[in-house]
Structure 1
Amino acid sequence: MKNHSISAAAKASGVNAKMIRYYESIGVIPPAERADNGYRQYSAQDIYTLRFVRRARNLGFSLEDIQQLVGLWQNQSRASAEVKALAEAHMQRLQAKIAELQGMHDTLKTLSDACHGDQRPDCPILQDLAGAAGASAKQLSCH
């Protein structure tokens, strides 16, 4: 029974109405049925699917991956190997991002440790940023 408005579905699922419409428009979730007045109507199953999507987004899955995951979740004859492959590929991307963030943190830590943080104008943090920006500007002017 489709008896929930988009605002009620948004509240129950934790996904705002704008995102629900967006997910419908790109095919992450199927288009909602419409009431006689043209308003979208959602069932308890639709809300459950929206919660699934929200959880997958919270875990950092891409919209493309989520679309595949929703399809796999709804397919009772799916092979769990497909789901595992998606999860493992996502974990590899997360691991690469963690390494990138750790490198950024380490660089900032080194620069912060070198900065006196007092009244002196000399600041290794700004010098490093300017050096990196200068290198980029030089690369641009050579082309």
Structure 2
Amino acid sequence: MDKQPPSLKRDNEDHNLLERPSIAYSSTTVRRAFAVWMYCGQSNKFKHVCNYYHYLEALEDTLPEESRAASRQHELNLFTSRPPLSSYLMKNFPTLYPAVTQQNNQKTSLETNKQNINKKQNINQKIQNTDKSENTKHWYF
């Protein structure tokens, strides 16, 4: 009875036996890694994100409490704040942040509409003011 060897993966893929054993992560590490992994669209392996946060927390443990809190606050700000925008960025990299680009386009169109309305109102006020001033002028000869 000839048995065929189990099918092997392609040569360029990692094999489970060759991977390092996983580190025992704290619940905080897993929670932080999961939040970032989901927020960033799962573009990396979750295990790699956990490794990153495990090492980050090891580094944070060497910091004083105030610095550790500042580090975590900075991390929170990175993920809750919008990316920095400038006219240079929007001009040269308009599709870098697609959701932000759409919001910007909507904002600029709203701002343009508001400016146009304000201009029309200013013109109407000027016309009304000139009409009133002409009616109140007394011509003396």
Q: Fold match, TM over 0.5? A: no
Q: Which has the higher contact order (CA 8 A, sep 6+)?
A: 1
The structure with the largest alpha-carbon Rg is: 2
TM-score by length of 1: 0.30
TM-score by length of 2: 0.30
